[in-house]
Amino acid sequence: MHILSNIGKSSLLAASIFWIVLLSSDLGMNWDFIPYMFLSLIPIYIICALTILITICPIFWFLENDNCSRQRIFKTYFPIYTIIALGFCLYRVYKSSFDILDLSFYVSAYITTVQSWVWFAKTKNKQH
């Protein structure tokens, strides 16, 4: 899978989770939100791209070689990444006093990065 398509899929996933969590709150479902849902794809795409390019891609770029496959990178570094990411997200949610906007943002960010790792690690195995 190419990085661009991974970012695209991640953005759609992040947007879906973000809005589902947000709409589950007291705000409720409102038709007026629909345009904002589509518009929110732009910032979500930018955030996803930055997060993936800064925190996930370098791990594969720097560590992948003939002796170290993507699968091995996943098994070694994914646990560390995911525990740090969860710690960070929980800390931010706690600091925001469980504000629904922050909660939606960090829940979607966490799940998206985790799924993005799986997509990245999966890709190369098919190509090999």
- Binding-site ranges for other proteins (CB under 8 A): 20-21, 23-25, 28-29, 31, 34-35, 38, 71, 74-76, 78-79, 82-83, 86, 114-115, 117-118, 121-122, 125-126
Q: Quick one: 60 or 117, whose CB is closer to other proteins?
A: 117
**Cβ at position 24, least distance to other proteins in Å:** 4
To other proteins, the closest distance from the beta carbon of 126 in angstroms equals 7
User: Shortest approach of other proteins to residue 124 CB, angstroms?
Assistant: 11
| Contacts for 38-47: CB closer than 8 Å, 24+ residues apart | 40/15, 41/11, 41/12, 41/15, 44/11, 44/14, 44/15, 44/18, 45/7, 45/8, 45/11, 47/14, 47/109
